[in-house]
Amino acid sequence: MNEGQDWIYSDTVKDHFMNPRNFLFGDESQFDFDAVGIVGNPICGDQMKMYIKVKDDKIEDVRWKTYGCASAIASTSALSELAKGKTLDEAVKISAKDIDDYLGNLPKHKFHCSVLGHQALADAVNKYRAQK
């Protein structure tokens, strides 16, 4: 795994873990969102929330919160970059594999338990559509 590196994860994962993008710092009132989706459970060790701001059927802006391990934080951060600017139809199609490809080489045992954010995003889109 990651031969020659001194860290358990790839450089991209480390970067998104150390410098996460688009996270919602503090309480929810910090961000004017149209819908929020949730996935996971703290009992299982990982939980994500995705907050979306929609304009003209596109994700204009996005924030997230995560309780979880380094790859959970990094993968949600990566997802937020992937989701921005996408149409809602495109957004719900973002898969765990897309996130993994974007980050490059999450360890296999991490992939299943911590790459969940896309489900929270789909949940947010569905809620947005339901409330319209």
Scan residues 39-68 and list those touching other proteins (CB under 8 A): 40, 42-49, 65-68
The residues that are catalytic are 44, 113
Least distance (Å) between residue 56 CB and other proteins: 29
Spatial separation of the C-alpha atoms in residues 73 and 51, rounded to whole Å:
15
Stretch 93-132: interaction string toward other proteins, x if CB under 8 A = ----------------xx--xx------------------
One-letter amino acid identity for 92?
V
CB atoms within 10 A of CB 49: 21
Residue 1 interacting with other proteins (CB under 8 A): no
Q: How far is CA 108 from CA 24, 66, 116, in A?
A: 28, 20, 14
